[in-house]
Amino acid sequence: MRLKLFVIVVLSICLQSVSADEGMWLLGNLQKNKQAKRVMKELGLKMPVSKLYDPKKPCLADAVVSFGGFCSGVVVSEDGLVFTNHHCGFSSIQQHSSVEHDYLKDGFVAHTLQEELPNPELYVRFLLRTEDVTKRVLAATKDANTESERKVAIDSMMVVISDEVSKNDSTLTGVVDAYYAGNEFWLSVYRDFNDVRLVFAPPSSVGKFGWDTDNWMWPRHTGDFSVFRIYANKENDPADYSPENVPYCPEYVAPISLDGYKEGSFCMTLGYPGSTERYLSSYGIEEMVNGMNQAMIDVRGVKQTIWKREMDRRPDIRIKYASKYDESSNYWKNSIGTNKAIRHLKVLEKKREAEAALRDWIQAHPTEREKLLRLFSNLELGYSQRRETNRALAYFGESFINGPELVQVALEILNFDFEGEEKQVISRMKKLLEKYENLDLSIDKEVFAAMLKEYQIKVDKRYLPAMYAQIDTLYQGNIQTYVDSLYATSLVTTPKGLKRFLEKDTTYNLIEDPAIALSIDLIVKYYEMNQSISDASEQIEQAERLFNAAMRRMYADRNFYPDANSTMRLSFGSVAGYSPFDGATYDYYTTVKGISEKVREHAGDIDFAIQPELLSLFSSRDFGRYANEKGDMSVCFISNNDITGGNSGSAMFNAKGELLGLAFDGNWEAMSSDIVFEPELQRCIGVDIRYVLFIIEKYGKATNLIRELKIDR
């Protein structure tokens, strides 16, 4: 019976032999991964695996970029055009928008290079090569006696190895990342391009069709794409923005297929997934559910309600708040779905079964028993010791650090290095001034008051910062009066206070400004709370690392992909529909017919409003060469590829390495996928490349862009 249970556990959780569609594989050791190579071929891969990644020759991975460090993108022309998601370019589109030129609402088209819009804070990053540096990094820990000493030694060596790259070539950036909970370390060498210009954006009625209602949902009808261009100097090297720069000539250009896909077609994604916790213990998952996820659900729900109300009332506020609302609501809904899926799919129960199997394995092996005798007791004790404080810290971060923008501005000023390198000082100052430009004080006051009330309700009084005592004594417990007074007396509500400080105005003491003083109190409280759980956190970090290593030893005959950590990864699988619940079956693609249906179903809802000329274009059925085999216009499709945040904008390729679409979302029923992969349910949602080109050519009239592309049919 025990053997039978062990087999069931192995087959039912993420810590088992990887299925065809599960996995975020490192490219650096792909050639050695015989299992992954074999499965890709069985699923239908028609190109040599060596053509996917080769640090010495042009390859498919050379067309894939990290977009801004938070998304992915793909190079599609010899003149450096990059396709990414609309929500990835959303902030840049918003920065160029105004009530007079509302590119968020109406879209943007550059018909010439001169019309393309620069984005000085945006960059794209190309991966040149990876290298396993585990032995070198861990060698630095030989004299470390505690977890904190180990961490310091590792961090120092990671910096040394990273710095060696840029010292040898100033155009390169080296980054050492930890894998498998700190058991392995790899160096990635990148080349960054800092002159990236906006070329095309569809109207939000296309790029954000359905907004929060449809976010993370299938069936989907969102044309989630935007187009940028990379610029370089005349030697084709990275350069800061200059009118003299020219379009970048890339190493490799992704070809585009108009042939589409069928159910079961091979599909692979290349991109930069952000973060997963597939190997986290059940104790860590439970903490995540009740801490960070719940705090995000509760606090952001309050803040976003205020923002959305005002955004719907005023066009200027909609433009100012669109990008930050989009970012906030995306992870808010993700947290709701994740917690729901964890409970519905019994993720904790599955993890605990796996841990029971690991306990038995440890007991059955004397050498393991000697090393890991206290593993589970240390995990349980560590998490229990920090449970309440860690939960309070989650609410603290959401309520204050990530809450009122006045606090964010004040913290930015406090942490500003005015004596730093000129280029970085100018860059950070621009970002700070942009915060002011997109800040409405009346809205922020309402948010601040709401955050103060929400935090007070959710945490024990011992976690209240000093301002609560001030509210009680000086303002008779009236939170609104306190907030009104704070905003009325602080000079950092506008750039005026910052200007007086920079000009060394002796009549103005920055540290005594009420908003700055409040932020200092918050920092002190945050530090105090973190320090109180530092020993427990150190114990947890060590135990999770040992837990991860033990799981890999127990299944030593299997290939383990590491958790996502914003490095380039390959995922592969098949185009496939799914059954979300008994009696329901979802097809693997959607068409523009569904757009019209949703417009009618949600009549009067601004999130589903669409321009009449677009509806007319769809109803004309003049889809040309972009029509699918039935003569319809496909919009989105799904595959069982692995996906998480950061994968947004990832290239979705067919068996020959041709672009099928751009990944932009996961699905609601499998929102626990960052923790456990559910092969029957998990799907990657992508926008069909044919719909992208249709909107560019037929709606945007940007035939100049279509001519740049390498289109195969």
Using alpha carbons, select from 104, 123, 339, 270 the residue that is nearest to residue 203. 104
Q: How confident is the model at residue 6 (pLDDT cuts 50, 70, 90)?
A: very low
Q: Are 254 and 651 in contact (CB under 8 A)?
A: yes
Using alpha carbons, select from 220, 197, 200 the residue that is nearest to residue 210. 220
pLDDT in tens, 465-489: 999 999 999 999 999 999 999 999 9
For Cα atoms 579, 583, 589, give the angle at the middle one, nearest 5 degrees. 40
Cα 138 to the chain's mean position, in Å? Answer: 29
> Is pLDDT of 13 > 50?
no
Catalytic residue among 21, 79, 87, 326: 87
b/e string for 594-616 if b means 16 or more Cβ within 10 A? bbbebbeeeeeeebbebeeebee
> Is pLDDT of 605 > 70?
yes
The DSSP line for 122-184 is --EEEEEEEEE-HHHHHHTTTT--SHHHHHHHHHHHHHHHHHHHHHH-TTEEEEEEEEGGGTE
Count other C-beta atoms under 10 Å from residue 96's C-beta.
15
Return the structure tokens found at 201. 């954006």
For Cα atoms 78, 83, 87, give the angle at the middle one, nearest 5 degrees. 160
Q: Is the dihedral of CA 306, 309, 312, 315 positive or negative?
A: negative
Backbone region of residue 476 per phi and psi (left: phi > 0; alpha: psi in -120 to 50; beta: other values): left
For Cα atoms 541, 547, 553, give the angle at the middle one, nearest 5 degrees. 140
CA 376 – CA 544 distance, rounded (Å): 10
> Is pLDDT of 18 > 80?
no
Q: Are 376 and 361 in contact (CB under 8 A)?
A: no
The helix/strand count (H/E) of the chain reads as 26, 21
pLDDT in tens, 158-200: 999 999 999 999 999 999 999 999 999 999 999 999 999 999 9
Using alpha carbons, select from 335, 218, 287, 304 the residue that is nearest to residue 578. 218
Using alpha carbons, select from 29, 10, 8 the residue that is nearest to residue 569. 29
Q: Are 62 and 250 in contact (CB under 8 A)?
A: yes
Q: Which residues contact 681 (CB under 8 A, 6 or more apart)?
A: 345, 578, 580, 667, 669, 670
Catalytic residue among 282, 399, 648, 650: 648
Per-residue model confidence (pLDDT) at position 582: 86
Count other C-beta atoms under 10 Å from residue 171's C-beta.
12
Count other C-beta atoms under 10 Å from residue 658's C-beta.
21
How confident is the prediction for the chain on average, in pLDDT?
93
Return the structure tokens found at 283. 């104790």
Q: DSSP character for 699?
A: I
96 as an active site residue: the answer is no
More confident residue, 536 or 433: 536
pLDDT in tens, 533-552: 999 999 999 999 999 999 99
Q: Are 602 and 615 in contact (CB under 8 A)?
A: no
> Is pLDDT of 10 > 60?
no
Per-residue model confidence (pLDDT) at position 9: 40
Beta strands 589-591; 634-639: pairing state: antiparallel
Q: Give me the amino acid identity at 353.
A: E
Phi and psi, residue 466, nearest 5°: -60, -25
For Cα atoms 342, 344, 348, give the angle at the middle one, nearest 5 degrees. 40
Q: Are 314 and 196 in contact (CB under 8 A)?
A: no
**Domains of the chain, with CATH numbers?**
20-123+194-277+563-712 (2.40.10.120), 282-542 (no CATH)
Cα 342 to Cα 339, 471, 581, 619: the distances in Å are 5, 39, 16, 41
Establish whether the linkage from the previous residue to 315 is cis, with ω within 30° of 0.
Answer: no
Per-residue model confidence (pLDDT) at position 434: 86
Average pLDDT over residues 590-594: 97
pLDDT in tens, 656-692: 999 999 999 999 999 999 999 998 999 999 999 999 9
Catalytic residue among 62, 79, 214, 224: 224
CA 699 – CA 611 distance, rounded (Å): 11
Q: What percentage of the chain exceeds 90 in pLDDT?
A: 87
Q: How confident is the model at residue 505 (pLDDT cuts 50, 70, 90)?
A: confident
Per-residue model confidence (pLDDT) at position 149: 94
C-alpha count within 13 angstroms, C-beta hemisphere, residue 196: 24
Using alpha carbons, select from 484, 298, 309 the residue that is nearest to residue 397. 298
673 as an active site residue: the answer is no
The β-bridge partners of 193 are 124
Return the structure tokens found at 38. 């074999």
Q: How confident is the model at residue 713 (pLDDT cuts 50, 70, 90)?
A: low
C-alpha count within 13 angstroms, C-beta hemisphere, residue 307: 24
Q: Give me the amino acid identity at 544.
A: E
Per-residue model confidence (pLDDT) at position 21: 65
CA 698 – CA 576 distance, rounded (Å): 29
Count other C-beta atoms under 10 Å from residue 367's C-beta.
8
Q: Are 552 and 180 in contact (CB under 8 A)?
A: yes
State the angle between helix axes of 294-313 and 315-344 in degrees (0 to 180), rounded to the nearest 10: 150
CA 563 – CA 182 distance, rounded (Å): 11
